[in-house]
């Protein structure tokens, strides 16, 4: 007689309690930066909204260069519904980034707020 909780032949048993152990897929530690914060198995509601919102920019007018105050941002191409997949862009220590989808050149300007662009209508607002 087969055990009650034994996997069927040819099936891999599911990993149990990964969420509660703090382990991610394949035994890798979960990033503390993304997803819901955990304190053991209880949620830490005080830190759920502590992440800054990543600024989004578009090039609906087709300008040659968009100057932005952020080094990490998302490019959406044109305004929805004509947008391309939203691409997460990270300039790192560089001052320019070219979007791989729409080829928009973004240039970092440290005098601008992270959610501000030049031209100003290139910043996507909710």
Predicted confidence at residue 7, as pLDDT, reads 53
* Residue 50, preceding peptide bond in cis (omega within 30° of 0): no
What CA–CA distance (Å, rounded) separates 109 from 75? Answer: 16
Same domain, 42 and 68: no
Predicted confidence at residue 26, as pLDDT, reads 55
Which residue range(s) make up the domain with 32? 18-47
Q: What is the pLDDT of residues 42-88, one digit of tens each?
A: 444 444 444 468 999 999 999 999 999 999 999 999 998 999 999 99
Predicted confidence at residue 42, as pLDDT, reads 46
pTM, entire model = 0.59
Does the pLDDT of residue 18 top 70, yes or no?
A: no
Predicted confidence at residue 125, as pLDDT, reads 82
Same domain, 35 and 66: no
The rounded mean pLDDT for the chain is 76
Judge whether 102 lies within some domain. Answer: yes
Same domain, 61 and 37: no
């Amino acid at each position: 007689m087969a055990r009650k909780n034994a996997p069927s032949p040819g099936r891999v048993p599911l990993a149990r309690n990964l969420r509660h152990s703090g382990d991610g897929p394949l035994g890798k530690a979960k990033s503390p930066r993304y997803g819901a914060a955990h304190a053991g198995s209880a949620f830490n509601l005080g830190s759920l909204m502590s992440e800054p919102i990543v600024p989004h920019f578009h090039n609906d007018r087709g300008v040659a260069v968009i100057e932005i105050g952020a080094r990490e941002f998302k490019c959406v191409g044109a305004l929805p519904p004509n947008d391309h997949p939203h691409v997460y862009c990270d300039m790192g220590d560089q001052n320019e980034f070219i979007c791989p989808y729409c080829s928009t050149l973004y240039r970092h300007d440290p005098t601008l707020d992270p959610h501000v662009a030049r031209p100003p209508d290139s910043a996507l607002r909710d």
